[in-house]
Amino acid sequence: MKKLSEVAGVTVNFYDVGGAPIPQLHDRLQKHGPRDPKTREVSPATSSWSIGSAIKWSKTGAQCKLTGVTLRFTATADLPRLSTGVNLPEPVRASWNHYVAALEDRQAAKLAFVRDRIGEVERAIMRSNCGNWEKAAAAAIKRLGEDQAAAFKPDPKTQPKLSQPNAE
């Protein structure tokens, strides 16, 4: 499983969830979870990212030439954590820990997808010129977002689920 700490530039925010039995945890997740930035629906975990860019250029007479680009990837992820003092039976705690790890893995994969492809933005900028580099950067960032959305389409079959542990 991938950890958010493995993706450079990510800040993790936690929201507290209390409760003991699984149905109560589900209720708290629904009431206190973050809203998906696009759908505005409550989601147990969300993430967002941005890419900032700065260029270096040189000018000789009327000629302007791009000589370098610096990109800055920043991202945030919102995840649940158990409120202080919540005491769960061990099977429920194990189920919770597995669920939260799966949520983190999915957000880390989504953010790493973008972070690992940041060079596409740099190449787009360097292929442009002094007059249209911002447009080239915006188009490359938009494509990257579309590619991420296509790669991580919401699918109920693959979404992490907080399940009631089997009675033994």
In a domain, 166, yes or no: no
pTM over 0.75: yes
Q: Is residue 157 part of a domain?
A: no
Q: What value does the mean pLDDT take over residues 95-108?
A: 94
- Within a domain: 112: yes
Question: Burial, 32: exposed, middle or buried (Cβ in 10 Å; 0-12, 13-18, 19+)?
Answer: middle
Looking at residue 167, its pLDDT comes to 56
Instruction: Report, as an integer, the average pLDDT of 80-94.
Output: 89
- 165 inside domain: no
Question: Count of domains in the chain?
Answer: 1
28 domain residue, yes or no = yes
In a domain, 160, yes or no: no
Residue 159 lies in a domain: no
pLDDT in tens, 8-57: 999 999 999 987 788 888 888 888 888 776 777 888 999 999 999 999 99
Q: Give the pLDDT confidence score for residue 124 in this predicted structure.
A: 97
What is the extent of the structural domain holding 26? Answer: 4-151
Enclosing H/E stretch for 91: helix 90-115
Give one word for 19, left, alpha or beta, with left for phi > 0 and alpha for psi -120 to 50: left
User: What is the average pLDDT score of the chain?
Assistant: 91
